[in-house]
Copies of this chain bind each other. A is one copy, B any other.
């Protein structure tokens, strides 16, 4: 499952599933866990058959962090946190603990620590006991503010890491902007994703506090083909022209930080731009189909560019109809967001839909796209958003109401941790 060494396996490698299968019925209060061991048990014999499917566990360690090139899981829980301690050692220790816990959870184990000591709070909050990790990945990022004077990290700040400039379409709610750190937990199971974020935040009590959090949903891999491009809440297929993460050339060219970075620690990492984009759904829904399709430059049902017939057809931005007009309008989203229109700039999108109920001020739906995108330099996003913001037909129907940027370090090995990137 990963290349972690036997020493780590001794202290962390007892999987939730292994225990479920091996323990059988245990009475209340039974002392299950060896010192420092992890245990979950159930007398429900169905439990140990539940999560063991191969493919439900993704490696944690590797050259890159999981959760970036990983094909998008169905659900995301994304948290931005602020560091409240002024003590660099405390932060460093938390990063150690976080990577060990994230490694354990992604492999199907509870967070390390006592689980059945009656006189202690359980190390793991428990809501994911007996559940498969369902492809859980946990990805960390460091915000620009982490590199201020507090922790002596100014010299490690990547030049490319800065708060995003004001951009067209911004109507930012300060409650959803920024953060010293981010945690992206993706899984096919929302309870597992939430559990991961909650347990890491809990371990940070006294060191970090929540700043904002967003849940999102997207694919539905249990019922649909992985090949099907998911639809956004405007009803259009979204991501047809996205980078396919198994294209190493595109990933190296656009997503993974390389030798161009001033910070060697970041090479093999990436930057994530998070934008909470509200869709004005009631207004959108009143549009006639022709206008909806002209806005995107695509056919709604098939996803084909208006110049083509199939979803994967490459848009022909020069095609003109019998009336001499551009088939894909000059202000169509697919045109203005295209690499052809942006000097080749591309990003790896990893967005999810969200809905947070009703806007109390207007009574309208509060939902849209929780846009996550990975790139080797946040300027890629700035370039695209400026291009879109000037003329994009879609801007009439969306508002950017949250924003943050983080530098995501490269991956870990079995004997390294998220601490090492900053404090080695």
Contact = CB atoms under 8 A, between A and B. Distances in A.
A281 B127 CA distance: 12
B301 A42 contact: yes
A119 interface: yes
Contact of A202 (B121, B282, B287, B305): B282
Main secondary structure of the interface of A (DSSP, over half): loop
Nearest to A355: B194
Interface in A135-178: 175
Nearest to A231: B127
Given A188-B223, A287-B121, A288-B120, A228 B301 contact: no
A56 B223 contact: yes
Contacts of A41: 301-302
A358 B210 contact: yes
A286 B116 contact: no
B236 A42 contact: no
A228 B46 contact: yes
Interface of A: 25-29, 32, 39-44, 46-47, 49-51, 53, 56, 77, 115-122, 124-132, 134, 175, 188-192, 194, 198, 201-202, 205, 209-215, 217-218, 220, 222-225, 227-229, 231-236, 281-282, 285-290, 292-293, 298-306, 308-311, 353, 355-358, 360, 363-365, 367
Given A134-B223, A191-B353, A210-B365, 8 more contacts: A28-B299, A121-B285, A122-B235, A125-B281, A130-B231, A191-B231, A194-B353, A212-B357
11 contacts: A43-B302, A43-B311, A131-B220, A134-B222, A189-B223, A194-B233, A201-B365, A202-B282, A205-B282, A210-B364, A356-B357
